Amino acid sequence: MSDNMNQVNRDDRPPLRTQNVPGTVARQHAKKITEEAVKNSAASSGGNGEEQYSLNDDRRVKVLSPGAMVAKRFFRNRIAVVGLAILAFMFLFSFLGGVITPYQENQQFYREDVQHKDYAGVVKNEDFRYIVADGQELGNVLQAQVILAMQRGQDSFTYKDTDYLLTEEGPDLYRVSLSDGTTLGFAYKDIVSSSVEGAKLSFEFQSEALLAYTNGLTAFSAEGKDYTIDDTGVVSDGSNEVAFISRYVVQPVMADVFLTRAFQEELIVCLQEGKDVFTYTDESGVEAEYTITYRADLKTWTVLQETATRVYDTYSYPSKAHWLGTDRNGMDMLTRLMYGGRVSLIIGFIVEIISTVLGIILGGIAGYFGKWVDNLIMRIVDIFYCIPSMPLIIILGAAMDAMSVDPQLRMLYLMLILGFLGWPGMARLIRGQILSLREQEFMTATEALGISVSRRIFKHLVPNVIPQIIVSVSMGIGGTILTEATLSFLGLGVKFPFASWGNIINDVNNTFVLTTYWFIWIPAGLLLLLTVLAFNLVGDGLRDAFDPKMKR
Amino acid sequence: MRKFIIKRILLSIIIFFFVMLIIYTLMRCLPTSYIENVARAKSQQPGSKSYEEWMAQLTAMYNMDKGILMGFFGWLGDFMRGNFGDSWYYTIPVVEEFHNTIWISFIMGLITMFFEVVIAIPLGIIAATKQYSKADYTISVVALAGISLPTFFFASLLKLLFSVKLGWFDLFGLVGRNYEQLSAVGKFLDKANHLFLPCLTLVVISIGSLMRYTRTNMLEVLNSDYIRTARAKGLSEHKVIYHHAFRNTMIPLVTIIGGSLPGLFSGALITETLFSIPGIGYASYHAMVGGDIPFSMFYLAFIAILTLAGNLISDILYAVVDPRVRIA
């Protein structure tokens, strides 16, 4: 049918086949009362040491107590014992495991990772660039006119009633000047860059260097100094390298990086050779490897630097250090599972305690008093039964998300909500049993003895229902763990940084995790399945063990 | 009989009233900042109304300006008149979204229920007739495992096995990528293909409770005096079980199955969400998480009505099917 109906079905579990139990237990109970009375009278008459048993005295025969009988029957049921063993393992795993494991619940692990970072971009300059003489202007429109004139092969052009001269000074180097001979600037393709970090090159220096370089000269002078140019384009003032000239523009991606001349030179050599890996050792002797990729559409080369970084060790495969690998946050999976089990089990128990206590009180009162009290409480039970709990919890969870409730507080709210929605089933069960129990003789006896009403309900009636309560609680814990896991899986229950088996499996929503990283979600799912199954098996075993009709 | 039914229906109406009162109160107790957040988020969507207009609509629609009790009566009046309002999340009338999604959920429910009944009841009977045999233990453990299986884990396993490793089914959705190009038969097969895994999930997780229920009731019947009588007069074991015992086992089974009929419409919230099947469960999940109060209220009321109808049907069926039950 559906999840919701499934929930309902679970609550509408077949009535416990233990109708006879109250009878037997009640008889035992009645016997206890009489025994007490006998003991009291014996004490008053001052009974002396050795007692003579009469022939029909129960004490002559070895009689198993009801508890021992139940235990015997329970341990004869192999499946139930398996369930008990699984539960014992789960408790050890969750509560002791967290202590033994060397890691913390939220401890994140790192790994060294080689990352490719954009380091530099290289462009081969195919466009004319312009340098403008000091105090002159060479605007965009004029630049366009210059290009036009170049393409037409003209050596002069007119723009806005002014005549300009265009002189080819060398390959891809043009001088733009006014008709009176004043140089406005140069159009060039080879680029002069400073070798000294932060230094700015003057117009005169740039223009002289370009003139010399494009015409194949090895020396020039500018601003009263002499410079030499070698055939790779390095400009030096005799002793120091000042600048260099190249067709390639190498630009660092990050503004704070200065690319040295040597680096650029070697890089360009590599580019021209068509290599895609480039190794460079800088002045301090650190060797770094770079990957070069060429993008044809932009005519640019991208240089990626391979740097070792510390990153979170996410989704690492099972290894000696991490037996079940690590999760998406780089936390040890096995440790998370242990702590998750703790959360799941604690929530299961607390929720079941809340709903059982409420159920015992209300069911006990309803069953004992009957009439309008019973009617009123049972109608309340009907109302709570009818509330669609799963949708309601989802809405509350989403609201808590919107209000960003603290994860720890959220866990508390979750337990309270689940507990308050879970009591009607227990109340119905207890009320039904007590309705039949209160008609029995031992209740008349308690009335005759003048025991108070609350003692009569909670000391004499409720203990007779304990078998049913235990069975129901055992199965209820399984159900609660399942509900909590479903909510956490949907991201509406227990939240990070707390682990829960449900929110560990939540990662499976990422299809890549589903297909690739089995160790993230399968162990958690198996633990969850085994735990819930074990609670159900034990509950089933107890139900049979408490049933006196059972043949074995 | 008629008196009984009328009494039960009246009682159901009263219960419904209080259930919705509780739900409405809870909704109203959500801090107003939550409503404001919803309104703000809504107003930032492209082409949406302004924040003030959303707030005005929100407060008016939920009678937020009035007290809780008056607001509830306002909501109930609208609900009774069939005025369910517009869904905020889907931006169409609630009824329309309901109409768009309910049928696929119903079909899924029907398929699931059919297989559940066909598989669970025979297995339950086998387990009961061969009590304490290997078959009984196997069936009992499998039934319990089905009950204990977390839906989401089982669905993920199925996806990994059938969708990823074998590639037989798509991971998500109701229709394939080339659905529009298919012929009528192809469209049908495509949908059937996409419904296979969700229905399998639902059958496996829901089969256990019915199986155990059948087994328990069959055992009860097999221990009764009239079965001993039947055996004593020398009937064949086959006749004893399938003629005398099974008929009596049918009484509780019919009531529980009849009672779960309305549940066919309730949709499978988790399973539909996991497989992205656009049914009522999936739609309401997104509405609820998205803070869509009109749709959520409608869905909650709908589920409450379905639950009440289920209880009513099983009570009536119990009286109808079992001649021993006499209603005062």
**Inter-chain touch B150–A403, beta carbons under 8 Å:** no
What ipTM goes with this model?
A: 0.87
Give the DSSP H/E element, type plus range, for residue A461: none
Query: By CA distance, what is A6's nearest residue in B?
Result: B206
Report which of B213, B303, B104 is spatially closest to residue A391, judged by C-alpha positions.
B303
User: Of A201-215, A414-428, A465-479, B143-157, which range is least confident?
Assistant: A201-215
Contacts of B152 (CB under 8 A, 6+ apart): A485, A486, A489, A505, A508, B270, B274
Q: How many residues does chain B have?
A: 328
Please determine, for residue B140, whether its predicted confidence score (pLDDT) is greater than 50: yes
Report which of A130, A127, A168, A171 is spatially closest to residue A149, judged by C-alpha positions.
A168
Q: What are phi and psi of A474, to 5 degrees?
A: -60, -45
A354 and A420 in contact (C-beta within 8 Å)? Answer: yes
Kindly list the residues from chain B whose CB atom is less than 8 angstroms away from the CB atom of residue A505.
150, 152-153, 156
CA–CA distances in Å: residue A86 to residues A83, A523, A534, B1, B247? 5, 15, 6, 51, 39
Kindly list the residues from chain A whose CB atom is less than 8 angstroms away from the CB atom of residue B109.
1-2
Structure tokens of B141? 């453990």
What does the pLDDT average to over A74-81?
A: 86
Instruction: Using DSSP, state whether A226 is helix, strand or coil.
Output: strand
Structure tokens of A137? 């202007």
Class of domain B94-321: mainly alpha
**Inter-chain touch A485–B150, beta carbons under 8 Å:** yes
- Pairwise CA distance, residues B215 & B220, whole Å: 9
Chain A, window 20-49: residues with a beta carbon less than 8 angstroms from a chain B beta carbon: none
Beta strand pairing call for A225-229 and A219-222 = antiparallel
Report which of A129, A128, A138, A202 is spatially closest to residue A176, judged by C-alpha positions.
A138
Give the DSSP H/E element, type plus range, for residue A242: strand A241-246
Looking at the partner chain, which of A4, A395, A502 has a beta carbon nearest the beta carbon of B288?
A: A395
A109 and A313 in contact (C-beta within 8 Å)? Answer: yes
- Pairwise CA distance, residues B95 & B87, whole Å: 9
Looking at the partner chain, which of A386, A402, A522 has a beta carbon nearest the beta carbon of B15?
A: A386
Q: How far is A90 from chain B (nearest CA, A)?
A: 15
Looking at residue A16, what is its pLDDT?
42
CATH homologous superfamily of A78-109+323-546 equals MetI-like (1.10.3720.10)
Chain A, window 338-397: residues with a beta carbon less than 8 angstroms from a chain B beta carbon: 379, 382-383, 385-388, 390-392, 394-396
B113 and B203 in contact (C-beta within 8 Å)? Answer: no
Neighbours of A169 (CB within 10 A): 16
Instruction: Using DSSP, state whether B121 is helix, strand or coil.
Output: helix
Mutation target for A interface from B8, B16, B152, B277: give the one with most A CBs within 10 A.
Answer: B152
Cross-strand partners of B52? none
- Pairwise CA distance, residues A222 & A15, whole Å: 106
Sorted by where each begins, the domain ranges of chain B are 94-321
- Pairwise CA distance, residues A517 & A524, whole Å: 13
A313 and A306 in contact (C-beta within 8 Å)? Answer: no
- A244-271 pLDDT tens trace: 787 777 777 777 777 777 777 777 777 7
Contacts of A416 (CB under 8 A, 6+ apart): A354
Instruction: Using DSSP, state whether A234 is helix, strand or coil.
Output: strand
Looking at residue A51, what is its pLDDT?
62
- A365-411 pLDDT tens trace: 888 888 899 889 998 998 998 888 888 888 888 888 877 888 888 89
- Pairwise CA distance, residues B271 & B280, whole Å: 11
Q: How many residues does chain A have?
A: 552
Average pLDDT, chain B: 85
CA-angle at B322, arms to B317 and B326, nearest 5°: 90
Please determine, for residue A355, whether its predicted confidence score (pLDDT) is greater than 90: yes
Sorted by where each begins, the domain ranges of chain A are 78-109+323-546, 120-311
Q: Can you give A151-167 as a three-state secondary structure string?
A: HHCCCEEEECCEEEEEE
Q: Which ranges in A62-139 belong to alpha helices (H)?
A: 66-76, 78-91, 97-100
Percent share of chain B, pLDDT over 70? 95
- Top-confidence range, A68-82, A264-278, B20-34: A68-82
Give the DSSP H/E element, type plus range, for residue A244: strand A241-246
- Pairwise CA distance, residues B265 & B284, whole Å: 13
Report which of A172, A8, A163, A87 is spatially closest to residue A535, judged by C-alpha positions.
A87
Structure tokens of B250? 């049918």
DSSP classification of residue A317: P
Burial class of residue A399 (count of CB atoms within 10 Å of its CB; 0-12, 13-18, 19+): buried
Please determine, for residue A14, whether its predicted confidence score (pLDDT) is greater than 50: no
pLDDT band at B35, cuts 50/70/90? low
- CA-based end-to-end distance of chain B: 8
What does the pLDDT average to over A450-455?
A: 86
Neighbours of B6 (CB within 10 A): 10
